[in-house]
Amino acid sequence: PLDLRSSPRCIAFFFYYCFRALCCKGPPPARPEYDLVCIGLTGSGKTSLLSKLCSESPENVVSTTGFSIKAVPFQNAILNVKELGGADNIRKYWSRYYQGSQGVIFVLDSASSEDDLESARNELHSALQHPQLCTLPFLILANHQDKPAARSVQEVLSPLTSRGKSFIKKCKAVFKSCKILSLI
């Protein structure tokens, strides 16, 4: 058995390994963080999406009054996503919270009434043209695809693209369909 008191070499090794274990391992390398804004009409599924991405239960989500921020961890980055509530009385304040955003997630309910979908398109149109957002990467999610009344991404967005193709091309927009609840 090793007797530390009798061997100066053993003592040196002991301290060397302690030092390595305590000091050399260090914390894991820091992941870059990005600030995103998440918008869309009330009920489109923004909170459900962020709960899902944070591995939290999306059951019993309540409508967001004002805004809420979640840090969504990915392997190579952390996204600090600021969700802005989508109710009528909150939407007029959205643009006050755009500053500093590095990307945008816009969530739509593809199964909503034609009137609500038109309101969502109008909000999307304004966001895509907003000076603080128009140059940012834009992810547009046509959600609620599990519902029978859901429209395809083309159906959701074609009235918008025909309104002004140039700005859709100008921004770095990506369109995706999804069914957030079915993914849970």
Ligand X SMILES: Nc1nc2c(ncn2[C@@H]2O[C@H](COP(=O)(O)OP(=O)(O)OP(=O)(O)O)[C@@H](O)[C@H]2O)c(=O)[nH]1
- Residue 45 binds: one of Mg ion, ligand X, none (C-beta under 5 to 8 A by kind): ligand X
Dist CA 111 CA 64 (whole Å): 20
Which of 34, 35, 53, 61 forms a contact with ligand X (CB under 6 A)? Answer: 61
Does position 47 interact with Mg ion (CB under 5 A)? The reply is: yes
Dist CA 45 CA 140 (whole Å): 12
Please report, for residues 15, 70, 123, 160, 165, the alpha-carbon distance to residue 79 in angstroms, rounded to integers and kept in the order given: 40, 8, 23, 28, 29
DSSP secondary structure letter of residue 5: G
Label each residue of 46-71 as H, E or C. HHHHHHHHCCCCCCCCCCCCCEEEEE
Segment near Mg ion (CB under 5 A); pick from 32-40, 60-68, 103-111, 168-176 = 60-68
Does position 64 interact with ligand X (CB under 6 A)? The reply is: yes
Does position 52 interact with ligand X (CB under 6 A)? The reply is: no
Which of 63, 122, 135, 158 forms a contact with ligand X (CB under 6 A)? Answer: 63
Q: Which runs of E-coded beta strand occur in 20-116?
A: 33-39, 67-73, 78-84, 103-109
Dist CA 88 CA 17 (whole Å): 62
Q: How far apart are CB 35 and Mg ion at their closest, in Å?
A: 18
Segment near Mg ion (CB under 5 A); pick from 13-21, 43-51, 119-127, 156-164 = 43-51
For ligand X, the binding residues in 117-156 under the rule CB under 6 A are 143-144, 146-147
To the question of whether residue 86 is assigned a binding role by annotation, the answer is yes
Strand partners, 143: 109
Q: Which residues are annotated as a binding site?
A: 40-47, 64, 86, 143-146
Q: Which residues bind ligand X (CB under 6 A)?
A: 40, 42-48, 61, 63-64, 85-87, 107, 143-144, 146-147, 179-181
Q: Which residues are annotated as a binding site for Mg(2+)?
A: 47, 64
